[in-house]
């Protein structure tokens, strides 16, 4: 897999507002963690009050979540326009792209075997099922992951966090789900890493996941977290999901039965894709 050389000229901007603006001397000072935590608490309380008043389901993050600073200039102000799948059963989005054996290779699902040597870090397997909201398995669909290495560094040219790159780890994986909707990856546990959302901001360890369902409406890009991470309360991206039950659905479960003796620790993470599909409308839901 292609590797990006580290550019020496690049300012050390760290993960956050990358691609965008290098930090300028006139930029306002970063908020403190205490200030961000107060914003998180206030928005959580507001969501609880909304929920108690029968407001919208907070099962998804708000599009505008000010503690995650990058959301401020990028979220739409207008509410999304609803498309009712039952009223428009021929909508193109009720079907979706398909992938097959030509699109993956057997080695893609094992991120520890993509180089000549073994990566450093705690070897883990992550597996689970992909279902739609009716509980039907999503079969033969593409699952993609990317992650930082065990030191918390991405093999991405713009990641200038001064943690070591690992010549034996890229951190990219793909697989197709099986007939039960199951995916499985072998990798190493990613490290936490700093970013510039606010002062002393650290992301909890996470693996980025991308899922395709049986319909384009079910597309999902999200992040999987590890149980018991002490950084959870400080992270505005995880906190953007204000409902604790929904937040818990982003956290994998340690499953000792999945651990392999003298090889790897096992985590289970099941995923439910939102959104209607053509089969759904055929059956009148």
Partner 1 sequence: MPTRPEGPAAAPAVPLDPTPSQTIGPFYGYALPFPGGERIAPTGHPDTVTLHGLVRDGDGAPVPDALLEFWQAGPDGSLTGAPGSLRRDPATGAVIGRNGVDFTGFGRVPTDADGRYALRTLPATAPAGRPDAAPYLALCVFARGLLHHLFTRVYFPEHTAAHAADPLLSRLPQARARTLLARPDGPVPYRYRFDIQLQQPADGRYEETVFLDFR
Question: Binding to partner 1 by residue 81, rule CB under 8 A?
Answer: yes
Min dist. Cβ of residue 86 to partner 1 (A): 9
Q: Site for partner 1 (CB under 8 A): which residue of 33, 37, 160, 222?
A: 222
Within 25-54, which residues bind partner 1 (CB under 8 A)? none
Q: Which residues contact 8 (CB under 8 A, 6 or more apart)?
A: none
CA atoms of 169 and 189, how far apart (whole Å): 11
CA atoms of 32 and 246, how far apart (whole Å): 27
Residues 14, 68, 129, 154: which is the catalytic one? Answer: 154
Within 228-247, which residues bind partner 1 (CB under 8 A)? 237-238, 240-241, 245-247
Residues 44, 113, 139, 208: which is the catalytic one? Answer: 208
Question: Binding to partner 1 by residue 62, rule CB under 8 A?
Answer: yes
CA atoms of 278 and 283, how far apart (whole Å): 9
Q: Of the two residues 87 and 256, which places its CB atom closer to partner 1 in the complex?
A: 87
271 neighbors 220 (Cβ within 8 angstroms): yes
208 catalytic residue (yes or no): yes
Min dist. Cβ of residue 41 to partner 1 (A): 18
38 catalytic residue (yes or no): no
Question: Binding to partner 1 by residue 219, rule CB under 8 A?
Answer: yes
Q: Site for partner 1 (CB under 8 A): which residue of 28, 29, 57, 262?
A: 57
Min dist. Cβ of residue 265 to partner 1 (A): 22
Within 149-208, which residues bind partner 1 (CB under 8 A)? 154-156, 158-159, 170-172, 208
Residue 173, strand partner residues = 145
154 catalytic residue (yes or no): yes
Residues 65, 68, 193, 267: which is the catalytic one? Answer: 193
Min dist. Cβ of residue 195 to partner 1 (A): 9
Q: Which residues of 52-87 are buried (b: 16+ CB within 10 A; e: fewer)?
A: eeeeeebeebbeebbbbbbbeeeeeeeeeeeeebee
Torsion, Cα of 108, 267, 271, 232 (10° steps):
-110
CA atoms of 61 and 257, how far apart (whole Å): 32
Within 86-145, which residues bind partner 1 (CB under 8 A)? 87-88, 90-105, 107-108, 114, 131-135, 144-145
Residues 129, 203, 234, 267: which is the catalytic one? Answer: 203
CA atoms of 251 and 229, how far apart (whole Å): 10
Q: Which tokens belong to 156?
A: 């991405």
206 catalytic residue (yes or no): yes
Question: Binding to partner 1 by residue 216, rule CB under 8 A?
Answer: yes
- Give the DSSP H or E segment for 37: helix 33-52
- Strand pairing category for 123-132 and 265-268: parallel
Min dist. Cβ of residue 271 to partner 1 (A): 5
Give me the active site residues, please: 154, 193, 203, 206, 208
């Amino acid at each position: 897999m292609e590797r990006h050389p580290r550019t020496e000229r690049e300012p050390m901007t760290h993960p956050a507002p990358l691609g965008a603006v290098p930090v300028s001397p006139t930029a306002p000072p970063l908020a403190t963690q205490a200030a961000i935590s107060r914003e998180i608490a206030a928005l959580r309380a507001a969501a609880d009050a909304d929920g108690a008043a029968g407001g919208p389901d907070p099962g998804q993050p708000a599009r505008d979540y000010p503690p995650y600073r990058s959301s401020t200039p990028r979220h739409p102000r207008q509410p999304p326009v609803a498309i009712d799948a039952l009223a428009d059963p021929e909508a193109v989005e009720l079907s979706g792209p398909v992938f097959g054996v030509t699109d993956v290779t057997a080695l893609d699902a094992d991120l520890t075997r993509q180089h000549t040597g073994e990566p450093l870090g705690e070897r883990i397997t992550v597996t689970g099922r992909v279902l739609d909201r009716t509980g039907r398995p999503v079969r033969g669909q593409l699952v993609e992951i990317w992650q930082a290495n065990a030191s918390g560094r991405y093999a991405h040219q713009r990641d200038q966090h001064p943690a070591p790159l690992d010549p034996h780890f890229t951190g990219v994986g793909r697989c197709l789900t099986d007939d039960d909707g199951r995916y499985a990856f072998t990798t190493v546990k990613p490290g936490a890493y700093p970013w510039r959302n606010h002062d002393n901001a650290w992301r909890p360890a996470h693996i980025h996941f991308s899922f395709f369902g049986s319909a384009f409406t079910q597309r999902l890009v999200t992040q999987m977290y590890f149980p018991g991470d002490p950084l959870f309360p400080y992270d505005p991206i995880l906190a953007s999901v204000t409902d604790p039950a929904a937040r818990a659905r982003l956290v994998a479960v340690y499953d000792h039965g999945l651990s392999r003796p003298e090889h790897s620790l096992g985590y289970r993470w099941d995923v439910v894709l939102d959104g209607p599909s053509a089969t759904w409308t055929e059956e009148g839901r």
